[in-house]
Every structure is written in C-alpha cells, then in structure tokens.
A and B are shown apart, each in its own frame.
Chain A
C-alpha cells in the first residue's frame, strides 16, 4: 500500500538543478513529507522534511504543493556526488520509517 509514487530513474547534468518529484495524493493532515537518499553501499542520509510550508537547508529545498498532494525535492547545483537513490516518505511524527523503491538519480558530467 504505497503512500508515495516516484519515477524510477532520472538523469541530471552536473551543475544544473535536479528536481525530483513525488506524488502523495492520500497524505493526511498531520503526516510529514521526508526525503532521504542512499549513495551506493552506504546508509541512508536524511535530507529534509516538511509539513505544509516549503523548506530549505544546506542540502536542498522542498517544495510542497498547496493541496499537499505532491512535492518536489530540489538540489540546486547537482554534483557527481549527488548520484544516489532518493526516497520520498510520508509518515506521522513517530511512525516507523519504511522505504519504497525511490528514484535513482544519475548526475551526468
């Protein structure tokens, strides 16, 4: 029972902005949107999370639509080290975090 839908793969040119979409049309009012990424053979890395408002930190920006049914993770200036599988996850604050298949982002030189 997938809560989110992501494209299986995307390419982005090095130095350009990478925009990763996520659909979560059944999200409820108190569920957060989390983004993690997993670089090959490493543990997942927390990127950012949000509830309603757009969020920005040193890694990325998270844009959540007004109806909260979708969001976009933006890596402003992609580098080769950003090649990874990116996971969009919807959950309540203390809910167990489970992973779908994510989006495999490849940064092309």
Chain B
C-alpha cells in the first residue's frame, strides 16, 4: 500500500512554544490530507482537512489559529501547534488520500507524532 510518513515521531516541548509536525506522502501525490488527534484510550478525532493550494477546513471546535495547517505541495502538509499547553499533549496522526482511480480514494495514515507539552 501507499506510504505516509510523519516527522518527528515524538516531541517534548515547554509550555508556550510552537511545534511543527510534517506529513509526507512518499509514493503518491495527495491533493487532500487530514489531521487527527487521539487522546489516551479514545478513538481518533478528525481535526481538519488540508487541501493543496487552499485553506484548510477545520472541524467544529478546533481552533484554526492554534492549529495552523499548510499544504504547500502535493506531498507535504504541516501542522503547527502554536503556543502549546499541557492540554495539547496528544497523539497527532495525519493521513493522505490516494486517488487510486478505482472509484474510491483510500486514505493512508502516517505513524503518528506523540506530543508532550511540559
């Protein structure tokens, strides 16, 4: 299957700093990528849809000024958590939609980034 990478895999930062997470589709071009967040013992929650060359679409309750998304190319989307606080500590996972041409587009997920804010 298609491969999606994330960097870094793990990050620890101080409260008030900003953290950037990169998501790359390695063997396909993705006009659409997605960002999810997962708290312990909970399911994945969709945060936003990242569209190449246009503004991201955020889910209800997700602050767009706090979670900045940039999708500058067909293989790269970035999520920046601005002024991070301990409550932002979570597992952040991206996915990319592969337009496989089979009548439906399958989403492939990255390995996730564990963010810990002290």
Contact = CB atoms under 8 A, between A and B. Distances in A.
Interface of A: 32, 34, 36, 38, 41-46, 49, 51, 92-94, 96-102
A93 B110 CA distance: 20
B67 interface: no
Given A49-B104, A49-B106, A102-B43, A96 B91 contact: no
Contact of A46 (B43, B49, B91, B108): B108
Chain B, interface size category, equals 20 to 34
A46 B106 contact: yes
Contacts of B75: none
A22 to B, nearest CB: 15
Contacts of B111: 42-43
B93 interface: yes
5 contacts: A34-B106, A41-B112, A42-B111, A46-B106, A98-B46
Contact of B95 (A32, A92, A97, A100): A97
Given A96-B49, A100-B43, A101-B43, A46 B105 contact: no
Interface in B1-43: 1, 4, 6, 34, 43
A93 B105 CA distance: 6
A82 to B, nearest CB: 17
A44 B93 contact: yes
A43 B1 CA distance: 14
A36 B108 CA distance: 10
Q: Which 7 A-B pairs have the closest CB atoms?
A: A93-B104, A43-B109, A99-B44, A99-B43, A44-B109, A43-B112, A43-B93
Interface in B75-114: 91, 93, 95, 97, 103-112, 114
Given A42-B112, A43-B112, A44-B109, A97 B93 contact: no
Given A43-B4, A46-B1, 8 more contacts: A38-B44, A41-B91, A42-B111, A43-B95, A43-B110, A46-B106, A46-B107, A49-B106
Contact of A32 (B44, B104, B110): B104
Name which of B49, B104, B106, B110 has the most chain A CB atoms within 10 A of its CB: B104
